[in-house]
Structure 1
Amino acid sequence: MFTTLSLRLRIFLFFAFLACATSGLAIAGLVLGYVRLGEDHALSAFVIAGAIAVLAIFALTTWVWVLFDENVAKPVERLAAEMRARAHAEVNDEIDHAPARYLGDLGTAAAAVASNLTETRNAMALAVGRETARLASEKTRLETLLSEVPDGVLFCSPWHTIALYNGHAREILGSSEAFGLNRPLRGLLRMAPILQAYERLLTRGNGTDDEGGTDVLVTTRDGARLLEARMRLLRLEGQETEHPGYVLTLRDVTTDMATHLERTHLLETLLGGVKEAVAILPDGEAADALATLAAETERRKRATDTGWWPMESLVAEDLGAALGARLARKGVAVACELGPTILRCDGFAVTRLLERLALDWAGQGAGELTLTLASEGAAEAVVSLEARGDVPDSATVAGWLKEPLSPGMTGFTGAAVCVAHGTSVAPEPAGPGRAALRFALPLARPEPSRPYRTVLYDFDLLNADIPDDLAAASLRGLSFVVFDTETTGLNPQVDEVCQIAAVRVVNGKLVEGERFDMLVNPGRKIPAASTAVHQITDAMVADAPGVTEALARFHTFADGAVLVAHNAPFDMAFLRRREREIGRRFDQPILDTVLCSAILFGQSAEHTLDALCERLGIAIPEADRHTAIGDAVGTGEAFRKMIPMLEAAELPNLGALIKAFDRHSRLIEHLN
């Protein structure tokens, strides 16, 4: 109830209640005294005394209330208003705390809070301004970079509208009225290959972390240009969705395809003429040599026929599902029995080829269509489109293959698809009353796992100024390679490296995408005691590079950078022992995070890697402890966090830090 009233009114009501209560008690006391006295002639005296007491009480209370109101209530309300103005109205003037002089330290404290708020707000505004300017600069640079990409690039929404494009995309697709931001892609391209590729990527990536793309051939809306397109889903962290957008890179292959088809035609004509000439030549070495040359040329031609067409790894079941859906819309049923075999082909082109064969064959009375797949060795599989009916003759099948597979794409025929895949369609019997159209497709070879393709950049490096004297270079401006080794033992004179790993720290930041991690064959048995620490066994390093090769490759990785390690003398002893064998020296500056820790936290502190990471709030997963890459990442994170601390300790450059190391060299001697 009273909390809704103003502070001054509540104080006034308090003093009014106090005056009334005090007056009431005084009157009650006078009444009690008069009654106990019992003399009527004293009544007037009691009344006069009571009136004077009440007036005095009210006068005194009013005077105290006025003082309290002027020196407490009003200053408190004013301070509250001033602080509210600075909190919400961005007022930056200092608070005048003189009127609050009777409130002790409240006025001074309020002024300090307001001043600190103003400073914090200004500092934040400056930081936001700098970051905004940096982001704007990076955005401009990335836009410039994207504009120079030689391929057309489109970022498309799940609804197949354009969200971003570069200048080359406009050149490829033309400057028609249908081109622009938030315009549908269907106004520019024939969408069938795009839609099929998008659905295929969604199916492939469902419930997985697959970041691969797919290649397709697509034509412009008017069919004037043939484009090679690569599609990749835009799965962004924090924006997970079942239907993400995608990136489409486009390359105009109209001229390439025309040239390829012309080349193919010329070679086929030439080879046909050579075969006819060989047939009429008399037997002899010349005829045999010409026949051999023709056969070799034809073999090499077939190999190049399949090299330029965009191919992808495709699950055969997906091929059957796409074919079944397209034929169902045209009233033709097909039973697919393909299994999980993975083919290497152009899924869109093969689907359209099978669709054309099925529709033309069904138009001649074939029924009960079935699509099957049978492996032929380890390199290819045979696709069989079977049906109830007679075996079609080769001339009829050749006619089907000459028809365009998509409207407006006269060069996109079944014959062209067969040539691109190095195969041919063969009509064959398939049992009593049934026939089959068969062609071979290559099986996909297992591909090694590849890391996610990412772009690493730091535009600040464009303006970096490294002085000629490395000792004068700032720590933040140098490049560091932070490394760690796992060894067969603790004696650098007899033991060997069995794992070496490193990360880069550039411009004060750990570069996640640049790592060196290699198991090393030490050329000797790894003791069980060492394996218990780093979990590296003889079997794990049996096929690994030897020490000389591994250290030579590490030297290349670390070339031009300052080396950093935790207890560096131990690791460097193993590296320097092999300098003569690899023909290179590790002569760059070397920093030790043990000494950095001693400088910042004092020699009396514990300087193990675990203790240092705990102090700096760095968590190394237990599974990565005592592995070279895990310790290298932990050391790199620790060193990155110590760079601003070293700068604050008046050690801003490499020379000053190395001089400071000399004061703590005994610590390293003690550790080793």
Structure 2
Amino acid sequence: MLHRLGLRLRILLFFAALAVGANVAVAVGLVLAYQRLGEPVLLAAFQQVGLIAGLVILALVTWVWYLFDANVALPIIRLASKLRARAHAAVEGAIEEPTARYLGDLAPAASATALTLSETRNALAESVARETSRLSAEKSRLETLLSDVPVGVLLCSGDHQLVFYNGPATDLMNTAGAPGLDRNLFDYLREGPIRHAHQRLVEAGDPDAASDILCTTVVGARVLAARMRLIAGETTKPGYVLTLRDVTSALASYARREALLAEVFDRVRRPAANLQTLLEVLPEGEQAPAKVERALRQEVAMLATAVNDLGRKHDENRHDGWPLSITRASDLLDGLRARMEQAGLTAEVGEAPLLLRCNGFEVIGLVATLAARVAARRTGNHFRITLTEDGTEALLRLIWDGEPLPVSLLEDWLAEPLEPGVPEVTGRTVLSTHTTEIWPESSGAGANALCLPLRAARRAGRRPAPIPRAVVYDFELLSKARNEKVADTRLEDLTYVVFDTETTGLMPSQDEIVQIAAVRIVNGRRVEGEVFDTLVNPHRPIPPSSTEVHGITDAMVADAPDVIAVGRAFHKFAEGAVLVAHNAPFDMEFLRRAEPFIGRRFDNPILDTVLLSAVLFGQTEVHSLDALTHRLGITIPEEARHTAIGDTVATADAFLKLLPMLQGRGYDTFGSVLSEVRRHGRLLKDLNEAHLTEA
């Protein structure tokens, strides 16, 4: 029992026992002396002597205890905390503890030990860095490669928790909120097809088998074509790789074509049947009666209108499904000039700051082939190529000096294959793919041209800032043990969301949130790409005194979402995680006030870094965020202090250093940490009651 008590409490009990023992010894001595003398008149004198002796002993023992506590116990605790910070949290530097001067050589020995540990750690880190530099470079190249894969790629554990995802997967599933490591896949995709495919592959027992499935997103009902393959080497509950491709637009295009085809049959069938009936009743070789002739003309007009209308709709939707990508005009023109020069032609190419939606290979092949055939009809082989903007189109002109090209000859050329070995690709099919035409025209002063309009052109503007597409992964999650009871779960197996709020004031019952930020910690590391950071419109003025602290003004939050929208988004971000904050009751009070409005309850387990600091460094230390980060060797940039995201990142980094220190003290589970926290104050009593009773 005594080993569970703190050092200072044990020393206090020792001196208390010493005081009690001394007083008992004095009392026993006085009683024996009084009995031996046998003089009742001396009883009062003996009592006075006993009382004075007891008070003197109590005062002396208290004074000695105070000196021992201040100069021995407290310095030992501080030295132990600083040694533990350097051992488990990688804090650098010598140990400075002025109050340890009465501990003899203990403080210098502790400082020397810390310096030696730091030097050894640095030397080991340099050695490991040198040995792993090649692997790091390969890892970086692999991440870059996977981030540029055009399809969404997911890696999931056997429990359907996300272990890896890339940028395209984020885009595909973002309708249900940004994905996150160790989150359940079924928060984003409907589970039926995925569970069935996983079960089929597990039962098949073939490591090379794959299953093609069609699934939909939970929000937005986007239809995704997916392929699932199990991870080799996994036996029980094997994980799997899932590749995703959005086929919603393809299915919609197919549906439009089917609807157009049905409309064709419906609108053409009736006029055709009427015409057939009229022709059958009309005697052969005789003049049609006036009524029949009017009916014929009416039906023919209706048929012509239907055909023209359907042809227009077909032209509008004909490009659906064709792989037309965005191509820079400069790239297209450069490729065209190279192709023509290879054929012995020369081309003068102008500048065109345009972006085109086209199949560049086909357009280059068509124009270069036509240029070669035009050159074969005349003596010159020099051409000029221009590309000009015309509304939403771009007009590509192949210009030469000489006679014009007859339309009939151009039609013959368009019917011929562009390449001898590919007879199905003709000039006409290229024009059909791009829903366009090409025609000859005069270019003035004895020059003629072929004009080819290219659809969906736009001016090339300034390149926007790149969107981060880094892959996010942690392969250790594949073998992560899971425990349904939070109190029994090891600290490293929990997912944490560290958060902070900025408010209009310090009264949760009266003030409002103006900013909230959070980061996720999964498997003992902060996930860089999973960040929640937003301003909140409090729908009330922000006092100047608050603006001086966090720098947020009324103008900055005027267009920000309100606490209802932000609260729901944050609740989703923090779902299934332990909430961590510095002085958590303050921030949680604001969130609890918003619960009736957002229709959600923040019933997550909660840890407070103020109390964790008290557990590890003692209650007599200062536990502000600045003091804690300074103690752990963490620097908060001045511009980030008192901003929600700046304080959140600082708290997260501090928490990551506190975790191994807690484990070094033997607090391995959430329940053990919470029990120890409550010995240092009852600040979290109501916040975690449910999660302690689970155990």
What TM-score do the two structures reach when normalised by structure 2?
0.53
The SS at the match of 1:424 is: coil
Alpha-carbon contact 1:275-1:294 (below 8 Å) kept: no
Q: Say if 2:378 is the partner of 1:374.
A: no
Tell me, in whole angstroms, the C-alpha distance in 2 between the residues paired with 1:584 and 1:641. Answer: 32
Tell me, in whole angstroms, the C-alpha distance in 1 between the residues paired with 2:373 and 2:152. Answer: 37
The SS at the match of 2:455 is: strand
Deviations 1:89-125 (Å, cap 9, x if unpaired)? xxxxxxxxxxxxxxxxxxxxxxxxxxx99xx99xx9x
2:523 to 507, 510, 516: 507
Q: Say if 2:394 is the partner of 1:386.
A: no
Q: Say if 2:372 is the partner of 1:359.
A: yes
Tell me, in whole angstroms, the C-alpha distance in 2 between the residues paired with 1:593 and 1:585. Answer: 22
The SS at the match of 2:496 is: strand
Q: What is the aligned partner in structure 1 of residue 447 from structure 2?
A: 434
Q: Say if 2:332 is the partner of 1:319.
A: yes
How far apart are residue 335 of structure 1 and its match?
Answer: 1.6
How far apart are residue 570 of structure 1 and its match?
Answer: 2.0
Q: Which amino acid aligns with 1:424?
A: E
Q: What is the aligned partner in structure 2 of residue 647 from structure 1?
A: 663
Alpha-carbon contact 2:532-2:573 (below 8 Å) kept: yes
How far apart are residue 471 of structure 1 and its match?
Answer: 0.5
Kindly tell me: are residues 493 and 151 of structure 1, through their superposed partners in 2, closer, same or farther at Cα, counting changes over 3 Å?
A: closer
Q: What is the aligned partner in structure 2 of residue 610 from structure 1?
A: 626
Q: Which amino acid aligns with 1:472?
A: D
Q: What is the aligned partner in structure 2 of residue 574 from structure 1?
A: 590
Deviations 1:334-355 (Å, cap 9, x if unpaired)? 1212332222223333222322
Q: Which amino acid aligns with 1:578?
A: A
Alpha-carbon contact 1:275-1:291 (below 8 Å) kept: no
How far apart are residue 402 of structure 1 and its match?
Answer: 3.5
Deviations 1:250-302 (Å, cap 9, x if unpaired)? x9xxxx9xx99xx99x97xx79x969978x97588876765565455434433
Tell me, in whole angstroms, the C-alpha distance in 1 between the residues paired with 2:516 and 2:304. Answer: 57
Deviations 1:332-379 (Å, cap 9, x if unpaired)? 1212123322222233332223222322222223664222222222x3
Q: Superposed, which structure 2 residues align to 1:531-610 within 5 Å?
A: 531-610=547-626
Q: Which amino acid aligns with 2:450?
A: L
The SS at the match of 2:502 is: strand
How far apart are residue 666 of structure 1 and its match?
Answer: 7.0
Q: What is the aligned partner in structure 2 of residue 477 from structure 1?
A: 493
Q: Which amino acid aligns with 1:318?
A: D
Q: Say if 2:517 is the partner of 1:495.
A: no
How far apart are residue 478 of structure 1 and its match?
Answer: 0.7
Q: Which amino acid aligns with 2:523?
A: N
Q: Which amino acid aligns with 1:352?
A: G
Alpha-carbon contact 2:496-2:578 (below 8 Å) kept: yes
Q: Which amino acid aligns with 1:453?
A: R
2:650 to 634, 649, 653: 634
Q: Which amino acid aligns with 2:387?
A: L
Q: What is the aligned partner in structure 2 of residue 421 from structure 1?
A: 434
Tell me, in whole angstroms, the C-alpha distance in 1 between the residues paired with 2:485 and 2:152. Answer: 45
How far apart are residue 542 of structure 1 and its match?
Answer: 3.4
Q: Which amino acid aligns with 1:411?
A: E
Alpha-carbon contact 2:678-2:684 (below 8 Å) kept: no
1:346 to 346, 359, 382: 359
The SS at the match of 2:473 is: coil
Alpha-carbon contact 1:404-1:413 (below 8 Å) kept: yes
How far apart are residue 566 of structure 1 and its match?
Answer: 1.9
Q: What is the aligned partner in structure 2 of residue 37 from structure 1?
A: none
How far apart are residue 467 of structure 1 and its match?
Answer: 2.3
How far apart are residue 626 of structure 1 and its match?
Answer: 3.3
Kindly tell me: are residues 448 and 480 of structure 1, through their superposed partners in 2, closer, same or farther at Cα, counting changes over 3 Å?
A: farther
How far apart are residue 585 of structure 1 and its match?
Answer: 0.4
- What CA RMSD, in Å, does the superposition of the two structures yield over aligned residues? 4.5
Deviations 1:613-670 (Å, cap 9, x if unpaired)? 333343444444433333322322222222111111221111122222223337899x
Kindly tell me: are residues 493 and 317 of structure 1, through their superposed partners in 2, closer, same or farther at Cα, counting changes over 3 Å?
A: same
Tell me, in whole angstroms, the C-alpha distance in 2 between the residues paired with 1:400 and 1:276. Answer: 38
Q: Which has the higher contact order (CA 8 A, sep 6+)?
A: 2
Kindly tell me: are residues 318 and 291 of structure 1, through their superposed partners in 2, closer, same or farther at Cα, counting changes over 3 Å?
A: same
1:656 to 648, 672, 693: 672
Q: What is the aligned partner in structure 1 of residue 92 from structure 2?
A: none
Tell me, in whole angstroms, the C-alpha distance in 2 between the residues paired with 1:538 and 1:609. Answer: 27
Alpha-carbon contact 2:498-2:648 (below 8 Å) kept: yes
Q: Superposed, which structure 2 residues align to 1:73-472 within 5 Å?
A: 294-295=307-308, 297-365=310-378, 368-377=382-391, 379-406=392-419, 408-438=421-451, 439-443=453-457, 451-472=467-488
How far apart are residue 417 of structure 1 and its match?
Answer: 2.8
Alpha-carbon contact 1:484-1:629 (below 8 Å) kept: yes
Kindly tell me: are residues 486 and 412 of structure 1, through their superposed partners in 2, closer, same or farther at Cα, counting changes over 3 Å?
A: farther
How far apart are residue 549 of structure 1 and its match?
Answer: 0.8
Tell me, in whole angstroms, the C-alpha distance in 1 between the residues paired with 2:544 and 2:372. Answer: 69
The SS at the match of 1:306 is: coil
What TM-score do the two structures reach when normalised by structure 1?
0.55
Alpha-carbon contact 1:367-1:388 (below 8 Å) kept: no
Q: What is the aligned partner in structure 2 of residue 486 from structure 1?
A: 502
Alpha-carbon contact 1:593-1:639 (below 8 Å) kept: yes
Tell me, in whole angstroms, the C-alpha distance in 1 between the residues paired with 2:518 and 2:429. Answer: 50
Alpha-carbon contact 1:481-1:504 (below 8 Å) kept: yes
How far apart are residue 318 of structure 1 and its match?
Answer: 2.0
Deviations 1:223-256 (Å, cap 9, x if unpaired)? xxxxxxxxxxxxxxxxxxxxxxxxxx9x9xxxx9
Deviations 1:302-323 (Å, cap 9, x if unpaired)? 3443232333333212222222
How far apart are residue 556 of structure 1 and its match?
Answer: 1.1
Kindly tell me: are residues 288 and 315 of structure 1, through their superposed partners in 2, closer, same or farther at Cα, counting changes over 3 Å?
A: same
Q: What is the aligned partner in structure 1 of residue 213 from structure 2?
A: none
How far apart are residue 414 of structure 1 and its match?
Answer: 3.1
Alpha-carbon contact 2:550-2:642 (below 8 Å) kept: yes
Alpha-carbon contact 1:486-1:628 (below 8 Å) kept: yes
Tell me, in whole angstroms, the C-alpha distance in 1 between the residues paired with 2:683 and 2:342. Answer: 79
The SS at the match of 2:423 is: coil
Tell me, in whole angstroms, the C-alpha distance in 2 between the residues paired with 1:292 and 1:527. Answer: 69
Alpha-carbon contact 2:358-2:454 (below 8 Å) kept: no
Gaps of 5+ in 2: 1-115, 154-242, 276-294, 686-695
Kindly tell me: are residues 557 and 668 of structure 1, through their superposed partners in 2, closer, same or farther at Cα, counting changes over 3 Å?
A: closer
Kindly tell me: are residues 315 and 571 of structure 1, through their superposed partners in 2, closer, same or farther at Cα, counting changes over 3 Å?
A: same
How far apart are residue 581 of structure 1 and its match?
Answer: 0.9
1:524 to 531, 540, 554: 540
The SS at the match of 1:641 is: helix
Percent identity over the alignment?
48
Q: Which amino acid aligns with 2:365?
A: R
Q: Which amino acid aligns with 1:489?
A: G
Alpha-carbon contact 1:567-1:668 (below 8 Å) kept: no
Q: Which amino acid aligns with 1:369?
A: F
Q: Which amino acid aligns with 1:481?
A: V
Q: Which amino acid aligns with 1:372?
A: T
The SS at the match of 1:503 is: strand
